[in-house]
Amino acid sequence: MLESVLVANRGEIALRVIRACQELGVRAIAVFSDADRSAPHVLAADEAYRLGPAPASESYLRVDRILELARRSGAEAIHPGYGFLSERASFAEAVEAAGFVFVGPRSETIAAMGDKTEARRRMQEAGVPVVPGTVEPLVSGTDAVRIAEELGFPVVLKAAAGGGGKGMRVVRGKDEVERAFDAAAREASQAFGDGAIYVEKFLATPRHVEIQLLGDAAGQVVHLGERECSIQRRHQKLIEEAPSPAVDGELREAMGEAAVRAAEAVGYRGAGTVEFLLAGREFFFLEMNTRIQVEHPVTELVTGIDLVKWQIRIAGGERLDFGQADVTLRGHAIECRVTSEDPAHGFLPATGRVRSLLLPSGPGVRWDGGISTGVEIGLHYDPLLGKLIVHAEDRAGAVATMRRALRELRIEGVETCLPFHRRAMDDPDFQAGRFSIQFLEQRPDLLEGRLSSNARLAAALAAALLEHKRRDGFHPRTATGFREGSSLTAWQRSGWPWSNGG
């Protein structure tokens, strides 16, 4: 087992890693920006070191400073969390070169999966289905037109150095291709310093379903089933769950086997995720994420396997002590990402000081948070405040538990996206598992609490019908025996019986 781990991150994921270290008996070392000097991850760690003068948004990206603090603290390993330096192959390489253990895959694996055309090539060779399209960058606009016509419209142009939807362009007809190609190439070279573009057939309303993997240094790889991640806004996931309502045992096995082949093809070590687009029962490789992901807890709850502890054990050279046949799924888990974004104002990032924080608890509830009362929420960092995760015997039970937990959770002092989550959990389409990656674009009523034009029309019709009936002497309240003004009994008005006399 590793003796110590420096956590090169902040917020809820830093705290999550520190917690895993402490349960494993590993010394947990935090680093912090000046803005974070009394943040929960700093208070929870065994030791904490100041990153020092730098704009707050850059502190956690200071590779040299992080390596210096690793030396000074005598850290054996560095855990990058997610975001920040987690998927920079050059960081993994620098960590290893400085004599520390990088908690994650080999830097060559990170580099190969970061190049999206190389990833597609390697996956195709490994027999993993990829979306029809090119595995080499397009050489010119005319090349793009020719290949797009062969594929058939619509197609999507993507940046080879991109990922996560950055620099993506959907093209619906031949006359748009060259302009879109030029614009995409220009944007990609500005954003990534690499203008390489490739093309895929565009799938209109697939689901985003991803497979969690663990691989050890001895080359054993297991999958831990899927997560459904289709509920997202502008490539930011908001709700994730496991298992997916669209995946049965047979499909899970097929996707899981494909993901394991993908990992074996790159000698994968540690925790990783293979993202797929799922259309009906057809699935296509999209990207491989070489880090721990925000939504990892839903997998932990349905498998009973602690992914962060396994990252640390694997980095320390331990082998997986279970095989594929030992992985079984139990019940259903849902995660709501709680962000400081205001749904009533187009998910505008909100700021403020957390004045009070009431966390939900009780059966089936987990809170992975990175905030405490008094902390200032600014605009320097990602708006994720924490994640509310629930587990129950089945999906309907998990929705019920989440609704209850969302009622209990109170965050005052900063606007959050909680109103959105409450509406989503009440929604019949969400409850039925009827959605694709387009879901929230089609549902401004859920996203912003505003009615879509269809819903407004339906509401207006219902109101007109009700008014018409009322004129005929119909009283909707009396019909259910719930008369205005008489809904409280005498003892309810005088206080609840169990609140008197202790």
Cβ closest to ligand MV4, residue 70 vs residue 229: 229
Residue that the structure tokens 């509830």 belong to: 365
Residue number with CB closer to ligand MV4 (201 or 261): 201
Contacts of 256 (CB under 8 A, 6+ apart): 211, 223, 225, 226, 324
Is residue 142 within 8 Å of 174, Cβ to Cβ?
no
Residue with tokens 């009622």: 407
- Least separation in angstroms between residue 164's CB and ligand MV4 is 5
Backbone angles phi, psi at 404, to 5 degrees: -65, -45
Binding site for ligand MV4 (CB under 6 A): 131, 156, 164-165, 168, 200-203, 208, 232, 235, 277, 286-287, 437
CB-based closest residue to ligand MV4: 165
- Closest to ligand MV4 by CB, 69 vs 437, is 437
Is-contact 271 227, C-beta < 8 A? no
Is-catalytic flag, 403?
A: no
Give the CA radius of gyration of the chain: 25
As given in the structure block, the two tokens for residue 467 are: 């008014």
Quote the DSSP letter at residue 319: P
Question: CA torsion sign, 168 to 170 to 171 to 176?
Answer: negative
Which CB, 199 or 377, lies closer to ligand MV4?
199
Reported in sequence order, the residue ranges of 234-349 that DSSP labels E, i.e. its strands, are 236-242, 270-279, 282-289, 332-339, 341-342, 348-349
Cα separation, 128 vs 285, whole angstroms: 7
| CB 232, min distance to ligand MV4, A | 5
CB 260, min distance to ligand MV4, A: 21
Nearest distance, CB of residue 26 and ligand MV4, angstroms: 33
Closer residue to ligand MV4 (CB): 115 or 200? 200
CA–CA separation, 143 and 111 (whole Å): 27
Closest CA to 377 of 357, 410, 353, 411: 353
For residues 170 and 184, give the distance between their C-alpha atoms in angstroms, rounded to a whole number: 10
Nearest approach, Cβ of 145 to ligand MV4 (angstroms)?
Answer: 18
CB of 248 to ligand MV4, least distance (A): 21
In the complex, what is the shortest distance from the CB of residue 179 to ligand MV4, in angstroms, rounded to a whole number?
20
The one-letter amino acid at 116: K
Q: State the residue for tokens 């009780």.
A: 362
Tokens of 175: 């006359």
Which CB atom, from 200 or from 341, has the smaller least distance to ligand MV4? 200
Q: What angle do CA 290, 292, 297 make, to 5 degrees?
A: 145
Given the residues 291, 337, 395, 422, select the one marked as catalytic. Answer: 291
Residues involved in catalysis = 291
